[in-house]
Chains A and B, each alone.
Chain A
Amino acid sequence: MTEEQQELRVEHYEMLYILSANYTAEEIKPIIEKIASLIKEQHGEITKDEDAGKLKFAYPIKQQNHGYYRLFEFNLVKNNLQNLNKILGLTNEILRFIIVKKKIKTETELKKEKDLQDKLAKKKEKEIEKIKADKKEIKEKVPKERGREKISLEDLDKKLDEILDTNKL
């Protein structure tokens, strides 16, 4: 692959961004549209728009404790990412954002993962059964030993009697 081709390669990205909680739920909508249009301006193709809800920050950002977390997924030419980063950094409405490369899973990969999960689930079931079986064995063992003891006690009595009898003689 030549350098030019590499720069024109389309990648799949995931972007998480925070909007200030000073906006109401309705005031947010035009802002979201604005951000989406910014991505589209860079010839990005949005595949997912998700609301992660209003959450509390782990530490205050610009003297605020809450924010709306939202998520975009989009395909973008690698070369345009730097531009997009710059533009998003200059939009005041966004408190903070992060763009992360996300791998699109192919069908074979998905199948592999599913197989792995099935395998693990079976393994766990087996282990649980094993533990149960072990517990049962212990339970079964205990009464047997007690039974033996009882028998042996009776035997002891008989033996004692015999011994006593022989002593009398």
Chain B
Amino acid sequence: MPRETNLLEKEKYCYFCVNGLKDIDYKDGQLLRRWTSSYNKIVPRRRSGVCSKHQRKLANAIKRARYMAILPYLPR
């Protein structure tokens, strides 16, 4: 069965490719928060639209930020 396409859905793009960012800084919690869900999980690529190269770096950065208490592990 073909997947239904949602016309209201915005076109996905990789934020880091579009803005020419090569490295992702784990110290910038405000930015990283964009790619965590309301349960503070890392958002999967199929939802965030980040390319595979940057998704790997992003996941690493989020995990480092969590360890340094910049991002939470669990919601309050």
Residues in chain A within 8 A of chain B (CB atoms): 16, 18, 52, 55, 57-59, 61, 67, 69, 96, 98, 100, 103, 113, 116-117, 119-120
Contacts and interface: CB of A to CB of B under 8 A. Distances in A.
- The SS class assigned to the B binding surface is loop
Interface string B1-39: 000000000000000001110110011010000000000
Contacts of A61: 69
A111 to B, nearest CB: 13
B68 A59 contact: no
Interface in B53-76: 64, 66-74
A116 B1 CA distance: 42
A117 B72 contact: no
A16 B64 CA distance: 11
A18 B69 contact: yes
A67 B66 CA distance: 15
B68 A18 contact: yes
- Interface range on chain B (Cβ under 8 Å from partner): 10 to 19
Contacts of A52: 27
Contact of A58 (B20, B23, B69): B69
A96 B67 contact: yes
A98 B68 contact: yes
A59 B67 contact: no
B10 to A, nearest CB: 16
Given A52-B27, A117-B20, A98 B71 contact: no
